[in-house]
Amino acid sequence: METADLIVIGSGQGGIPLASDFAQEGRRAVIFERDVLGGSCINYGCTPSKAFLAAAHAAGRARHADKLGIHAQVNVDFPAVMQRVRGIKGSFNQGIHKRLEDAGVKIVFAEASFVGEKTVAGGNFVVQAPIIVINTGTSALVPDIPGLAGTPYLTNRNFFDLKELPPRLVVIGGGYISLELGQGLARLGSQTQIIVRGDRLLDAEEPEVSATLAQALEQDGIKLHFHAEAKQVAYQNGIFTATLNSGEELQAEALLVATGRKPNTQALNAAATGVELDDRGYIKISDRFATTGDGIYAIGDAARQPAFTHVSWEDYRRLKAILAGENRTRSDRVLGYAVYTEPQVGRVGMTLEQAQQKGINARSVTLQMSQIARAIEWGHDLGFYRMVIDNDTNKILGATLVGYEAGEIVHVFLDLIAAEATWQLLEQSVHIHPTYGEALPSLARLYQQ
């Protein structure tokens, strides 16, 4: 058995920089990876999906340019689109391998499990360390639908292996993965239908967000089936048939399953070192990322942290500070995120409902995109900007933006909230005309009305 100063299980976006930092400081770091370096973000998450959406949204914008007087014929070279996606993914992956090797991190390509107190084994390699960080992430949660198992259905894990554009696509699920990839294939030419169990898309968001995205998807020719469940799946002669609870049958050459995530903790044998899991298999952690096992920490979505790369990377920064004796926690940050549909959704902080549930005397103000000069000029008038304000302190508590490049605009609110700024500061700001950002002081002025 060998020894190290740090063991990292999983090479996600939090574990990689932590292992690299340890090694560059002259300490021995070992990282276990059962699959490919980079975790979900680089291999089947952020990187390939956004490269894929770059092509899809370019095609979609061209088709929708008729309202600007531009009538385009769009020819999609789908194999070239996917070849580019895989090329970018491969380049990023190679960069991570080089980074770890240059730092001096020992990489063990094997599934890791605990075999004793602070002892991890993978392949033929066994190592012990005083500090262990679990960074194993999550994977697609596939529902137990009769007939689904054994068919060549897609998840985000194998979606980017597609070589040919499927003429028809059925998507099961109404979350952000379903919407991004479903809209993406629709814009590239697939006839797309989405099965949604509830009454709206992105049901964790405000109802107006769901309604706006439903309108946008329908404009792309996507058929939405609400209050629907796939009760049975059949696959024959290259065609999927999904039978809904209503009895309706949907047929397509491709079936995408995006119904949730599950933690990659099954193989850890966590009990061998005193690490407790919750009832869904996620790792229990304190506000300082500590598990119930001495010297063992967990970061990222395997520990029920929000499933975003920037959160995992910020977990790394905080955990590194904690290990150095600093007083940091996983709660001392303002979190935002984006959904890369078109229009995009940018979210940060609290919604009005969330603020009121906390007992805060709050109010929200909303500005429709159809009232913003730049949006009208560019033909991007679907969506809205919303800000939540504490009536007692005038501080900005949160924002919901739905519109063109809302994932970029929302950073203004992220920084304002982190600075504990008031709506007056935003209202007094002079933003450039004509821009989307120009609407933010206008949004703040609505609070006075």
Residue 406 · residue 440 · CB < 8 Å = no
pLDDT at 449: 77
Q: Please check if 184 is assigned to a binding site.
A: no
Q: Please check if 10 is assigned to a binding site.
A: no
- Active site (catalytic) residues: 433
Q: Please check if 60 is assigned to a binding site.
A: no
Domain range summary for the chain, segments of one domain joined by +? 2-138+262-323, 159-259, 343-448
The yes or no reply on domain 343-448 and CATH 1.10.3210.10 is: no
Token duo for residue 276? 């407790």
DSSP result, 270-310: GGGGT--B-TTSPBP--TTSB-SSTTEEE-GGGGT--S-HH
Mean pLDDT by 10 residues, the chain (449 residues): 96 95 97 93 94 98 95 96 96 91 96 95 96 96 97 97 97 98 98 97 97 98 98 98 98 97 96 94 97 97 91 95 95 94 98 97 98 96 97 98 97 97 97 97 93
pLDDT at 348: 98
Q: What is this structure's pTM?
A: 0.95
Q: Which CATH class is domain 2-138+262-323?
A: alpha beta
- Within a 10 A sphere around the Cβ of 243, how many other Cβ atoms? 18
pLDDT at 307: 87
Token duo for residue 136? 């194993």
Q: What is the CATH number of domain 159-259?
A: 3.50.50.60
Q: Please check if 50 is assigned to a binding site.
A: yes
pLDDT at 1: 87
| Helix H or strand E encompassing 429 | none
Q: Please check if 403 is assigned to a binding site.
A: no
pLDDT at 263: 96
DSSP result, 128-149: E-SEEEE---EEE-----TTTT
Q: Please check if 238 is assigned to a binding site.
A: no
Residue 325 · residue 362 · CB < 8 Å = no
Q: Is-same-fold flag (2-138+262-323; 343-448)?
A: no
pLDDT at 268: 97
